[in-house]
Amino acid sequence: MTMKLDSHDPRFSGIEPFASKLWLASPTMHGDEQRWVQDAFDKNWITTAGENINEVERQIAEYIGVNYAVGLSCGTAALHLAIRLAGEKLYGIPKVGHGSLEGKRVFASDMTFDATVNPITYEGGEPVFIDTERGTWNMDPVALEKAFEIYPEVKLIVVAHLYGTPGKIDEIKAVADKHGALIVEDAAESLGATYKGKQTGTFGDFAVISFNGNNLLFIKGEKVAKAA
Ligand SMILES: Cc1ncc(COP(=O)(O)O)c(C=O)c1O
């Protein structure tokens, strides 16, 4: 994205765009993509079901090491479903037209893509942003513990692994367990990255990966399968 900063807006005074940029990964094709698209056309599986979807769900669950995976249209949709379901699990199924997090605070990564956090507000919740630590550029477990001192009632944490680098997810999980909170793990950018030998996407109560061309989907099984 290129953006021209408004030189009359005092908030931007003194800020210059970076001269050189570090680009995100761009999409790469590996030879068979067009063939599989054609295969879906040929078999008339241009819908929400089909053998290719079943197979990608099976393969991804096996690769990451979880019981089940559910394919959705994108990571953004998966995060919304995961956060909705986490809210229902914690606070019960809301009335029609209401969000599952109404009136509830949720702890969230403060440096991430906005799809990590948006569904908290779609479901009527209030994100409370947790500082990032320097080592991994992800949620700081120390700041998270501090946040529980201020808001001990919080029961949900949405945490991202940014740019394919896992956050300190075992420490974050220890804090969550101590306070009886659930975790939605946004591993959209970190498919294939491991933390202490374990795949990201296996730590949260719900987890999401993305196949967006510039990210490196699945929702961790059991609970979703039961709720769906
Ligand atoms: C951290 C993070 N979460 C969620 C998403 C959303 O994934 P998608 O683009 O598949 O909707 C992205 C996307 O790029 C992301 O970087």
Cα-to-centroid distance, 13 and ligand 1 (Å)? 30
Q: Which residues contact residue 46 at a Cβ distance below 8 angstroms, ignoring those fewer than 6 apart?
A: 40
pLDDT at site 57: 95
- 30 in a structural domain: no
The pLDDT score that the predictor gives to residue 52 is 87
- Is residue 185 a contact partner of residue 208, using CB atoms and an 8 Å limit? yes
Ramachandran area for residue 79 (φ above 0: left; ψ -120 to 50: alpha; else beta):
alpha
Domain of residue 102: give its range.
47-227
Residue 224: its pLDDT value, please? 34
**42 belongs to a structural domain:** no
Q: What pLDDT, on the 0 to 100 scale, is given for residue 216?
A: 61
CATH assignment at residue 76: 3.40.640.10
Map tokens 């702890």 to a residue. 107
Establish if 10 belongs to a structural domain.
no
Q: What is the pLDDT of residue 124?
A: 98
Q: Is residue 8 part of a domain?
A: no
pLDDT at 219: 41
- Give the distance (Å) from ligand 1 centre to CA of residue 25: 13
Please name the residues in contact with 206: beta carbons below 8 A apart, sequence gap of 6 or more.
82, 83, 85, 86, 182, 183, 184, 185, 219, 220, 223, 224
> What pLDDT score was predicted for residue 227?
28
Are 79 and 112 in contact by the 8 Å Cβ rule? The answer is no
Positions in the chain whose pLDDT score sits under 50: 1, 217-228
What is the number of the ligand 1 atom nearest to the C-alpha of 74? 10
Residue 104 lies in a domain: yes
What number of other Cβ atoms are within 10 A of residue 12's Cβ? 12
Q: How many domains does the chain have?
A: 1
In this prediction, residue 8 carries a pLDDT of 77
Q: What is the DSSP string of 177-222?
A: HHTT-EEEEE-TT-TT-EETTEETTSSSSEEE----TT------HH
Pocket of ligand 1 (CB under 6 A): 74-76, 79, 112-113, 115-116, 160, 186, 188-189, 210, 212, 215
Cα separation, 226 vs 223, in Å, equals 5
The answer to whether position 21 is within a domain reads no
Q: Could you give the maximum distance between any two Cα atoms of the chain, in Å? A: 57
Q: Taking the model in full, what pTM does it have?
A: 0.87
Q: Is residue 92 part of a domain?
A: yes
Residue 192: its pLDDT value, please? 87
Chain segment 29-81, per-residue pLDDT in tens? 888 989 988 999 999 988 888 888 999 999 999 999 999 999 999 999 999 99
In a domain, 29, yes or no: no
Q: How many CB atoms lie within 10 A of CB 161?
A: 30
